[in-house]
A and B are shown apart, each in its own frame.
Chain A
Amino acid sequence: MENKLVVSPSPHIHSGDTIQKNMYGVLIALIPAFLVALYVFRLDALIITALAVLFCVGFEYLIVKYMMKKTPTVLDGSAIITGVLLAFNVPSNLPVWILALGCLFAIGVVKLSFGGLGNNIFNPAIAGRIFLLISFPAQMTVWPAPETAFTIDAVSSATILGNLKLNPELLPSLQTMFLGTEAGSLGEMSALALLLGLGWLLWKKIITWHIPISIMATVAIFTGILYIFNPIPLYNPLIHLFSGGLMLGAVFMATDYVTSPMTKKGMLIYGVGIGFITIAIRLWGAYPEGVSFAILLMNAFTPLINNYTTPKRFGEVVKHG
């Protein structure tokens, strides 16, 4: 045998799992939601998503190569996901330059300036969205009506949540909300599509049930209790579940590996926290939509949660020594 023997410590086999596989798995889970967005917003959906991905990947490549002077690993899929999720969070007719700014902020400031993948504290897509919301409130709160209504001119209209507070009589049916086709951002369309994505992620063991279910359960139970005492649309748990970015946030954004806790107990605490803050903002805050802020706030708590929760130990007994 020509070659020398290789010697290294055990284990000598590997599952074959890679960062890339997990990231691309998430992209596959986003396909149903993307298809619904295409159906509702036609070409705009495609353009916004493609541009966002292009900007995110492009900025990451440029910043890593020329500013950080390291080898770029843009194909590991994380920049692509940031792009897609950011695109899913903005109106489909957002001006391109604003989108570019959002991507630059998300990738450059929120992800890379903290050290790149694995080291960022805040979810880049969420932080990017909030940055855009605060910097460009006008453009970010005007939602084109869905084009399946066959109107040629895009008419801007309020989202469901917007109507929830102000004009509850204008709310579409639950079925519409569940299947899709009402005003909002690309990702908020169809709860069904997002649930299909959740199923895929769980089956492929990319995420566990703890975060999405705890968020949705908290929202449902919290509003459900209020609804029992006062059954107005504002407190309807199903409306809260199926509208706005809740599903998108619960399944895709809150479950981001880097910014969520690592222990099961921690994940449940995190999910409950997000649920509470979301509802608090939706019901009593100035904004109609609370998921983004809730996730961002709980991201800040993740290191603390990690420090104070431990996994279920084998032989859980008093500390030895």
Chain B
Amino acid sequence: MLKTFRIGGIHPKEQKISAGNAIQSIATPDQVIIPLAQHIGAPCQPVVKKGDAVKVGTLIGKTVGFVSANIHSSVSGTVVKIDKAIDASGYRRDAVIIKVEGDEWEESIDRSPDLKKECRLSSKEILDKIAAAGIVGMGGATFPTHVKLTPPPGSKPEILIINGVECEPWLTSDHRLMMEKTEEIIVGITIVMEALNVDKAIIGIENNKKDAIEKFGKYAKAYPNISVEALKVQYPQGGEKQLIDALTGRQVPSGALPISVGAVVQNVGTILAAYEAVQKNKPLVERVVTVTGKDVKQPCNILSRIGIPVGNLIEAAGGLPDTTGKIVSGGPMMGKALASTDVPVTKGTSGILLIPTLEAKRKAMKDCIRCAKCVSVCPMGLNPTLLMNLTEFEVWDRAENNRITDCIECGSCSYTCPADRPLLDYIRLGKSRVNTIIRTRKN
């Protein structure tokens, strides 16, 4: 019996058509647009101005406050301007626009491809390097990694969980990383274990990536405190709380952080970026993006520099199909629909999914038939149809009591509803209202 989380869950068609395509590179265009807000927390303060020369890895945006992450130039060239540009948020926000000239990297960066296993740094030194490199959660959440790896005083991490699940349909970037950078990831795990001061790590991989499970099983044999666990293919297996439940049997209590059950979860991409930051002095300037979809001519996994417009990646995958109705940044369950192909690749862009027009439009919603399928599939044990009603009628106290703030916005409810009700839309709205009420209450 494969391990899995205990409440709810759905199983959409996996559609991993690009799983066999090795990571490929993409040509850098003449100009890149690097947004200053690519992470959870305050946007960065620019430290360059118009006319400055930059190399790959030059710091261009500095952290503001504790929960923030540095941003580095992903190309070499000259800063054209600091201006507002459209990004995945759907709004135009501050970005550094750089004219590309050549491909010069900062001298401190080690560009050799050899595996560097040894790391003699202390926990603090590792964390400082990760912070300096601007590493954030690469699964899409973009939470600054050095903050996550700094547990609040009083809490003790016991286990490091590596999220190799990639439960969203269509996405395969993590799968390819696990196949092609296995040893680097394992070294990265040892480094992060050192930073956290834990002596146990589990790599969780969904059972539809058997080659990755096998490969990791083989290479992790040399490390007795790193184990690999195959997980049942179910969405949202990759959700932090669900993953901890599946691998350790502990459920993070409502309103608490994973550290409260002694677990710290990191995406495989983040671990790889941490390895590169610590061992090769390389800041986060590129990432693997899956470009896929039913009518895409050449579905692929592209190693793209931050700041390249997604239009370029779509071209590399054979061009935008005529039947395209929606362009989604991320996976189909939690990704964001884009209004333009000028949106640049950022640290959290795990994939570009092109959905044909026929499948892109929603069906008209009908009255709730109280079938309770949404209740059955909710992985947090909520009652989505009740929460939608409470939000519509603005009954915030009952919404709070029914744990609307526990919602992880996975989308299983809207996916399942036979009456095509936009459950998640209302729950998201209700969640933000209730959170505001809770915040004002605390002050």
Contact = CB atoms under 8 A, between A and B. Distances in A.
B373 interface: yes
Given A5-B325, A18-B418, A312-B381, A317 B253 contact: yes
A262 B372 contact: yes
A319 B405 CA distance: 12
A14 interface: yes
B362 interface: yes
B355 A12 contact: yes
A11 B369 contact: no
Contacts of A8: 326, 337, 362
A10 interface: yes
Q: What interface size band does chain A fall in?
A: 35 or more
Contacts of B411: 10-11
A118 B419 CA distance: 10
Interface in A107-139: 115-119
Given A13-B415, A316-B251, A262 B383 contact: yes
Interface in B373-425: 373, 375-376, 378-383, 385-386, 400-403, 406, 409, 411, 414-420, 422, 424-425
Contacts of A73: 366
Interface string A245-263: 0000000000001101111
B376 A208 contact: yes
A1 interface: yes
Interface in B314-364: 320, 322, 324-328, 332-340, 353, 355, 357, 359-363
A321 B438 contact: yes
B367 A314 contact: no
A267 B90 CA distance: 43
A301 B335 CA distance: 41
Contacts of A261: 372
A17 B251 contact: no
A7 B338 contact: yes
A141 interface: no
Interface residues of B, number: 74
Contacts of B252: 314-315
A13 B332 contact: yes
Interface string B422-443: 1011001000000000100000
Given A6-B337, A9-B424, A22-B418, A1 B254 contact: no
B370 interface: yes
B351 to A, nearest CB: 12
Nearest to A257: B371
A8 B251 CA distance: 32
B262 interface: no
Given A7-B339, A258-B369, A314 B241 contact: yes
B368 interface: yes
17 contacts: A5-B327, A5-B337, A5-B339, A9-B428, A10-B336, A11-B411, A13-B359, A14-B414, A117-B369, A118-B366, A258-B369, A262-B372, A262-B386, A311-B382, A314-B252, A315-B406, A317-B254
Interface of A: 1-3, 5-15, 17-19, 21-22, 73, 115-119, 208, 257-258, 260-263, 310-317, 319-321
